[in-house]
Amino acid sequence: MSFSPLFTGSPTPQDKDLATLSNYLDARTTHIDLDWAIDWEKKIIGGSATVTLEATKDVGEVVLDTSYLDVQGVEVDGAKAEYSLDERIAGMGSALHVTLPKSVKSGQHVAIKVSYWTTPECTAVGWLEPVQTKSGKYPYLYSQSQAIHARSLLPCQDTPAIKATYAAKVRSVLPVLLSGLRQSPKPEEKWVPGKEVEYVYDQPVAIPSYLIAIASGELVYRPFKQLEGRKWRSGAWTEPLMMDEAYWEFSEDTARFVAAAEDYTSEYRFGVYDILFLPESFPYGGMENACLTFATPTVIAHDRSSVDLAAHEIAHSWFGNGIGCASWSHFWLNEGWTTYLERLCMRKIYGEPARQLSYTVGRKGLKEDLALNKDKTRFQRMVVEYNAHEDPDEAYNQVPYEKGSNFLLHLERTVGGLDHFLPYMKDYDRTFSGTSITTGQWRSHLFHFFGNQPNGQEYLRALGKVDWDEWLHGAGPDLCVDMQYDDTLSKPCADLAEKWNAARDDAQLSKFSPKDIESFITAQKLVFLDNLEALRFYRVALKSGKEYAEDAAEWVTNKGRMKFCRPIYRLLNQQTPELARKTFLKHAAFYHPIARKMIAKDLGVEV
């Protein structure tokens, strides 16, 4: 049975990335050089981006993605070149057409230098005033480019199908971090306020455009203890006033998670694994930017209960950053595999019951998101059929994470357990690392691997019984298979919740005490509260009326993580639409452009 990991033939609608305007199938970016300066007064970043491409066919034009960029000039191989910008397409930006002075033959390279500045409409970068930081002394900026916002930071082929190395020089009066290896100055070097410094970075591992990331502000570094026998180093970046608590929270487990992921897959390739803990406006729990995970400060819980976020972002080093999806239709290959590996890392450190409990918690979140998308069934599917020029942010939910990881757990059980599945996972990593693939390529490799084992026919018969179409393309309120999980840790939570739900008077309530949950880990407490339907106070309170609307409105004004702010704004909008819209419009500048756009859509307002 022959197998080739390379794509051949004409792409299907799900294989070709419909969210890019670039001609990435004609020429592929291999390297990007960035030469930037940060203008803190105008809140823009600019200079130049030199994009080196290899032609995959004879081409006379290169088309790059841009969005809200102020393009000032283009050069091709050092000479001034003709270019044009198309009219803007909502969500997609404007295609930048660069005419090549002569046709570039297949296999040849061409370097396109674009001089430009970002604009205040840039959707990738959040700019914060000093008052929005811990010390209140200095401004701050950070980027969030996934899914298709890198094009508002630099001209590029903004698609996960393309991976490229990059290098950068950035001049700023505040410390700068990038998703690469710092060349100068050293992380420990003391920063002098007001002095402009050139920060030099290199990313020698090819990554997709959405992983090119920048942050700048009053930032300090503290290394974690290096594990013996491991080549990489790890540490924390934060504002000075947040360092002690962030370091305590994540110094114990982060390096252990990287080591666990290595043991399950292959050597960590990025050299450095640091975590930057951002201000409260960051819209996600975490973002797996290469070498430098961006994390919400909400995971600093002071009990190490949210360190699984680090396990998840670390796992992306192999799935997403390593093996990526060829288009956003196959996003589950990034997140499903990452969640699966994250839970294996939890298993290695905390035991199999902890992995099973994580599936239990995740299943509930999946069903909530499936219910929210009941009128958009294509967003309930693992392989999403996008329309042309449709923003992938519209489909962001728990399906690729939880349906994807449960599918892999189902396949693990189908082939006979971890002893059989882990060798396959290592071979999958070895075969595709550094590439971007489709679900079809993943499935072909799965059958190829197991079909070539000594008892291959038995494996193939078992895999043949899997309902592939329902898993990959089916919709509905839950998984297509009623997955069962070990209830060693979840059953005590459910039993206690059942007793609470059965209690109806003070006499009955007196039999409960804090001792009932003193042995529970934090995840168990969440399962307990989930069973009481009381996980989030304001989510419960707002469903019952307007009594706590003002309190909820005040609470949400400094919660930028979309997992928290979007549900509260939706519920406020149901109870008191005027208050919801007034609150949001007053504080819209606090939220990152991605969150701002999604909340505005939820509330039916324009910003």
- Find out whether 417 is annotated in a ligand binding site: no
- Of the candidates 571, 569, 543, 545, the residue with the CA atom closest to the CA atom of residue 557: 569
- Find out whether 288 is annotated in a ligand binding site: yes
Cα–Cα distance measured from residue 347 to residue 354, given in angstroms and rounded to the nearest whole number = 6
- Find out whether 283 is annotated in a ligand binding site: yes
Catalytically annotated residue among 280, 313, 342, 412: 313
Q: In this structure, is the dihedral angle defined by the CA atoms of residues 551, 553, 557 and 560, taken in order, positive or negative?
A: positive
- Find out whether 563 is annotated in a ligand binding site: yes
- Find out whether 193 is annotated in a ligand binding site: no
- Find out whether 312 is annotated in a ligand binding site: yes
Residue whose structure tokens are 């295609």? 95
- Find out whether 242 is annotated in a ligand binding site: no
- Find out whether 544 is annotated in a ligand binding site: no
Residue whose structure tokens are 């590996």? 341
- Find out whether 97 is annotated in a ligand binding site: no
Catalytically annotated residue among 199, 401, 424, 428: 401
Q: How far is CA 599 from CA 249, 569, 584, in A?
A: 30, 7, 8
Strand extents, DSSP E, 105-158: 109-117, 125-128, 140-143
- Find out whether 560 is annotated in a ligand binding site: no
Q: Which two tokens stand for residue 18?
A: 């419909």
Please indicate whether residue 554 is annotated as part of the active site. no
- Find out whether 562 is annotated in a ligand binding site: yes
What phi, psi does 156 have (nearest 5°)? Answer: -165, 175
Please indicate whether residue 401 is annotated as part of the active site. yes
- Find out whether 330 is annotated in a ligand binding site: no
Burial label, 179 (beta-carbon count in 10 A; 0-12, 13-18, 19+)? buried
Cα–Cα distance measured from residue 134 to residue 177, given in angstroms and rounded to the nearest whole number = 18
- Find out whether 286 is annotated in a ligand binding site: yes
Degrees, nearest 5: CA angle 523-407-18? 110
Q: Which two tokens stand for residue 259?
A: 């080591």
Cα–Cα distance measured from residue 327 to residue 15, given in angstroms and rounded to the nearest whole number = 6
Q: How far is CA 351 from CA 185, 311, 345, in A?
A: 41, 14, 9
- Of the candidates 575, 567, 585, the residue with the CA atom closest to the CA atom of residue 550: 575
The residues that are catalytic are: 313, 401
Task: Show binding-site residues for Zn(2+).
Answer: 312, 316, 335
Binding-site entries: 144-146, 283-288, 312, 316, 335, 561-563
Which residues belong to the annotated binding site for a peptide? 144-146, 283-288, 561-563
